Amino acid sequence: MSWARYFKLSSYGVIVSGYIAIAVTGAVDLFSLSLFGAAIFVSWFVDTASLKRRLPPWVLNSLVTAYLFCFLCDYFLISRSFVISTIHLAFYVAALKILTRFSDTDYVYLYCVSFAELLAASTLTVDITFIITLVVFLISSVSTMILFEMRRTHARVLKEGRLRPFVTSDGAGGESMELFASFPALSMTGITLAMTLLIIFVAIPLFLLLPRVALGIYSRPPGKSRMTSGFSERVELGQIGTIKESDAVVMKVRVADPFPPLTGILKWRGVALDRYDGRSWSRSWVGRSRIAAERDYFRLERSIQGTQILDQTFFLEALSTDVVFASHKVLAISSDLGFLQRDSSGSLFTIRHDAQKVRYRAVSDITPPDSDLIPAQMAPIPEAIRSTYLQLPQLDRRIAELAREVTTAVPHPYQKAIVLERYLRNSYDYSLELKGSPHASDPLAMFLFDVRRGHCEYFASAMAIMLRQLGIPARLVNGFRAGEYNRLADAFVVHQYDAHSWVEAYFPPYGWLEFDPTPPDPSRSRSGLARLFETVVDAVSLWWWEDVINYDVWKQFRFIAATRSTVNRFQHGLNDWLRAEYARLRAAGERHSLDRMMPGLVVLLVCLVAVLGISIYLRVGRKSSGLARLRRVFYRFVFPREQHRLITICYREALDILQAWGLSRAQGCTPLEFARSLRHLPAGVPFEELTNLYNRVRFGSSWADSDLGEAEGLLNSLRSSLRSK
């Protein structure tokens, strides 16, 4: 590649990276982006210097001056935004410059415009695409600055006459700098990448250590605000057609103790709807009460009903709703939201965030109800609940007859709800294709007796209405399923197609309990490569949001404190070792020359490397059986008289093995309860025996010498049973 072509390619890298950075924000209209993109594309193939020589200067000046009127119209009538109208102006002038570029000044102007576009993009979005364009801009800028300085220096030397023209009998192509050798494009690329990496490595410590300052930017995602498909504060039934699903990401949810078996249980509750008019659901009362913050949390409940407490961290994209999502039953919401309201149905609301992302924590009690605690006879229902959640419009009488027929064999109200939920799941099919029927005037009758197929809103509506006809207060809830668990991101990724409707029914003493009568949604087919790519993108996006964008002063303090503590421990350890070594050498009467100290320093370096390797190994050693055995040998050598440490290591290793097979201990579950829950599996027998041995040795007062061999044997049996599964 010639010098001129490499310089042009590098310069276009700077220009195009700024253009892409501003384009992916979604703040600039498609028409302006298309015009500027077309100008960049055409300028690559056109002789811009010849074009500028043909155009008189007054023509270009007139074109720039004429756009000032367009700028005023854009600012006051079209975009009504100074930032957007200024970006349009920069695009227009840059398009003229790139089509008529001739001198170094033209290039400098285009570089400045690209840098301004990058700065504007940094205030308009915090998406991961920005860092990609920033890296491209850095690489291109480093290369361009080097080449630009070479070009300017060469031109100055020629002008001063210090470089005389070279005369040759053969024709010589390219720039005068390439007469004796071709331009080393590969070496130049390597130098550029090395300098860019050096800049990034220098910038990372500065990012971690510089004081955190709020610059007032808003966290806007790329593109327009996302509409929550399938989620609204009103549900319409009876429509005909096919529902189009969207795979856009709505939120990511990280739980404190992630265990994939909860994927089919967890739901992110949004809003409850209580009024049904025969065709649609809505809220009869829209009044809200504001919740006062107590330090770091909005406290919603003063007591809990169970022991299974779920700590959730939500990362919401910009959504056109003010609803706060969390798993039912919510105990507290972090004060990150700044403002929180609650209505009579327990739905939570905050300030609309259709132009920014939102991050908050929620704590919920997900303990399942104990049916033995629910009385067989319904307790007196409060009048406020009875008048609201037993309301019924004029419906097809066959719906009430079907509800009584399905539940006539069970007298217990709670069991009636269970039977009705199971009946709808097993007797009807899930479908996104909605068809009509002779009973289209009554959507529920059409679903139950004619079509017998529908989406979640039909299933939830049918169960809620049939429960009301049985005298059980019920309401419809809109929200999202748990989503797909991303192991790399350690979070649930929720898409728009995870929007869902289910039922809440009132049963004292628990209050409102969840029921989901919708059959499982057919799995969406994706290739392994597409799934892997999506997993990596979601994980990187979550890391970028959590550890870069939300790197606040408190995270900085924790990082600095941890670094300082590590350095202090290393310094104290090194000083102690040097003092001991000095005392030993002095007692032996040896001279403390550098050559005598070198063996000790070498030993110190080897020890440090060994300690680092052992630390990494002890953290990941349980992941493979071979490393795990070496780990136990190490602990046996270090702690020969502490038998309970080795037994504990075997038990933790067994937990890691089970977790790799999707069997994790729930929060609040004791080791023995967890072991008994696995009795039905082949691996349950050795694991229960190992758990009993662990409890006896860990919490008992004595142990036998044969306990370690027995624990290792049970661990091997556990591995064998899982492999043969």
Residue spans of the domains in the chain: they are 3-163+183-209, 624-723
pTM over 0.75: no
**Residue 578: which of 560, 557, 603, 554 has the closest Cα?**
603
Q: Token pair for residue 669? A: 């579950």
pLDDT for the residue 638: 59
C-alpha 184: how far from its chain's center? Answer: 43
User: What is the Cα–Cα distance from 250 to 111, expressed in whole angstroms?
Assistant: 36
Q: Are 94 and 86 in contact (CB under 8 A)?
A: no
User: What is the Cα–Cα distance from 450 to 399, expressed in whole angstroms?
Assistant: 12
pLDDT for the residue 479: 92
pLDDT for the residue 623: 46
pLDDT for the residue 439: 59
pLDDT for the residue 199: 81
pLDDT for the residue 360: 92
pLDDT for the residue 514: 94
**Residue 685: which of 644, 722, 645, 640 has the closest Cα?**
722
pLDDT for the residue 480: 92
pLDDT for the residue 681: 83
Q: Are 125 and 24 in contact (CB under 8 A)?
A: yes
**Residue 445: which of 401, 389, 475, 383 has the closest Cα?**
401
| Distance (Å) of CA 614 to CA 123, 310, 592, 620, 640 | 45, 34, 31, 10, 18
pLDDT for the residue 228: 38
Residues of the chain with confidence (pLDDT) below 50: 166, 168-174, 180, 213-230, 260, 591-592, 618, 620-624
pLDDT for the residue 331: 93
User: What is the Cα–Cα distance from 703 to 711, expressed in whole angstroms?
Assistant: 12
